[in-house]
Amino acid sequence: MLFELFFALKDDFGALNVFRYVSFRVIAAAMTALLLTLFLYPWFIRRLQKQQIGQVIRDDGPESHFSKAGTPTMGGVLILFAVVLSTVLWSDLSNTFVWVILSITVGFGVVGFIDDFMKLKGKSSAGLSGKIRLLLEFGLVGLVMVVLYWDPAFSNGLVEGLTYKTEMYLPFVSVERFSLSVPMWAYIPFGMFLVTGTGNAVNLTDGLDGLAIGPTIVAAGTFMVLAYSSATVLSYDATVNGELVTYYFDVAQYLMIPKVPGVQELAIFCSAVVGAGIGFLWYNTFPAQIFMGDVGSLSLGGALGTMALVTKHELLSAIIFGIFLLEAVSVITQTTSYKLTGKRVFKMAPIHHHYEMKGWPEPKIIVRFWIISFLLCLIALASLKLR
C-alpha cells in the first residue's frame, strides 16, 4: 500500500526513492509491527480480561501451571494483525509470494482461532479435533502449493528464464555441486507435511512463558537474511575507458545458494514477525501477562514452514527449527513408546515439561532453549559461506 503510493511519487519527491529498497522497507515493517504490539497490548489485555478470555490449563499438566489459569489468551490475534498490516503496508503487493505467505498465515490463524474458541467455550484443554485440524491445515497448504505451481507468475517465471522448481538442496553444499530433483507428485505432499508439521511443532512448543516466541523471532530473522540473499541483485556504476558502465552482483550466485526470483519481498514479512514477536514478548515474558494461544502459534509456525518452502531451504530448516523439531519428536517418541511398551521415555511430553518435572525453574528452561535456538540459527547462517 504505502510502497505503491510512495514509489509512484518518487519522481516528484526524490527522497521517496528510498522506498524501492527492500532493506529500508524491512526496517519500516519491523518498526511498524513493534510499535503496534507494544502500544496496543495493554489495551488488548484489558479487553480480554473484561471478556474473561483466560487460559484453560490441562488437568494432567505440571502443578506450577495451575496458577496460570485465567491468564488472558489468544494474544496471537494482535500478532497476526500487526504482521499482516505491516506486510501489506510495506510490501510490493504485486508479488505473488506475499499473498502465498499471507494466505498460510491467516488461514492457520483462523484454524487456531477456532481451536481456542472451542477450548474457551467448553472450558477444557480439548479444542478442535486433531483430525479435523490437520485436515483443514493440509487442505489449505495443498491449495497454496497449487498456486505455486500453476499460477502464471510462477510458471512463466518472475524473472525471465527462471521458474519455481521442485529441486531440493543440501545445507553446506553448493547448488552447483548437488541438487535433488524431486518429482512434483512427491514434492507437493512433502511441502504440505513441512508447513503443517512446523505449524503444529510451534504449537507444541508454546507451553511456557515466552518459550515459543523466542525461537520464532530468531527463526524469522534467519529467514529474513535467507530471503534477501536468495533473490537480491545489487548494481553499481563504474567508469571504464571514460564510459559509465553498470555492473550487477547476484548475491545468490556468489553465495552458491538457491536462487528464487521475487522472494526478497518476504524479508519484509519476516521483519514484521520479528517486530511483532518482540512486542508480544514484552508482555509474554515470565511471568506472562498474556498467552498467544493456538491462533498465534499455528499462524507463526505455518508462516515459518512456508518460508522454508518458498526460499528452497527445506532441509536447512531442520537446523533452524531445531527446538520445534525436538519438541515434536519428544511427543512422538513418548506416544509411540507408551503405545508399544506401556512405558514413558520422558517424565512428561513435550520435553520442556520433562525438565519442569525434574525440578528446573521455568525461566531456566526458557532461556536455555532460547540459547540453543540462537546457536542453531547461527549454524544455519554459516551455511551461506561454508559451502
| Lookup: cell for 126 | 480439548
Q: Is 253 a member of any domain?
A: no
Residue 332 pLDDT: 95
Q: Is 60 a member of any domain?
A: yes
Q: Is 147 a member of any domain?
A: yes
Burial of 50 (0-12, 13-18, 19+ CB in 10 A): exposed
Which amino acid, one-letter code, is at 100? V
For residues 189 and 181, the answer to whether their CB atoms sit within 8 Å is no
The Cα 264–Cα 269 span in angstroms is 10
Residue 2 pLDDT: 61
For the stretch 263-299, pLDDT in tens is 999 999 999 999 999 999 999 998 889 999 999 999 9
Q: Is 67 a member of any domain?
A: yes
The Cα 7–Cα 2 span in angstroms is 8
Kindly report whether the peptide bond that precedes residue 171 is cis, defined as omega within 30 degrees of 0. Answer: no
Question: For the chain, which residues score pLDDT lower than 70?
Answer: 1-19, 54-70, 123-127, 151-164, 234-248
Closest CA to 206 of 289, 275, 297: 297
Residue 57 pLDDT: 57
Q: Is 233 a member of any domain?
A: no
Q: Which domain holds residue 160?
A: 2-226+263-382
Q: Is 250 a member of any domain?
A: no
Q: Is 267 a member of any domain?
A: yes
Give the three-state DSSP class for 183: coil
For the stretch 143-172, pLDDT in tens is 988 877 776 655 544 443 335 678 899 999
User: Residue with C-alpha cell 527462471?
Assistant: 162
Residue 183 pLDDT: 87
Closest CA to 198 of 101, 301, 320: 301
* pTM reported for the whole predicted model: 0.91
Cross-strand partners of 244: 239
Closest CA to 269 of 318, 213, 226, 237: 226
Which amino acid, one-letter code, is at 228? Y
Number of domains in the chain: 1
| Lookup: cell for 71 | 491468564
